[in-house]
Amino acid sequence: MDSIRKLCPYPDVQLVARTMIETLIQMLWVAQNPIERSTMWRKYVIIEDWNTLQSILNRGASISPAERAVIESAYDATKADYG
């Protein structure tokens, strides 16, 4: 908390504090089952990439077929772990 108090005069204090708290929560979650959950956390970027891809496609923007294939292939291989 001392570090947050030192940041109070700066406009980014809320962003920094929220990031610190969210990171702590994620670390505590992983610590409950380190082997399984650390892998899940690292692979979650694939889910985020797929969500971003869907957002891009829904806006009508284009994406290279090769990049789309890579994202969809990785998503298909990973999605069952997050069902």
37-68 pLDDT tens trace: 988 888 999 999 999 999 999 999 999 999 99
Within this chain, do residues 10 and 49 fall inside the same structural domain, yes or no?
A: no
Within this chain, do residues 26 and 53 fall inside the same structural domain, yes or no?
A: no
Number of domain units in the chain? 2
Share of the chain above pLDDT 90, in %: 60
Q: Which domain holds residue 17?
A: 1-32
Within this chain, do residues 8 and 40 fall inside the same structural domain, yes or no?
A: no
Within this chain, do residues 27 and 41 fall inside the same structural domain, yes or no?
A: no
Report yes or no: 38 and 30 within 8 Å, Cβ to Cβ: yes
Q: What pLDDT is stored for residue 7 in this prediction?
A: 67
How sure is the predictor about 1, in pLDDT bands with cuts at 50, 70 and 90?
low
Within this chain, do residues 42 and 82 fall inside the same structural domain, yes or no?
A: yes
Tell me the pTM: 0.65
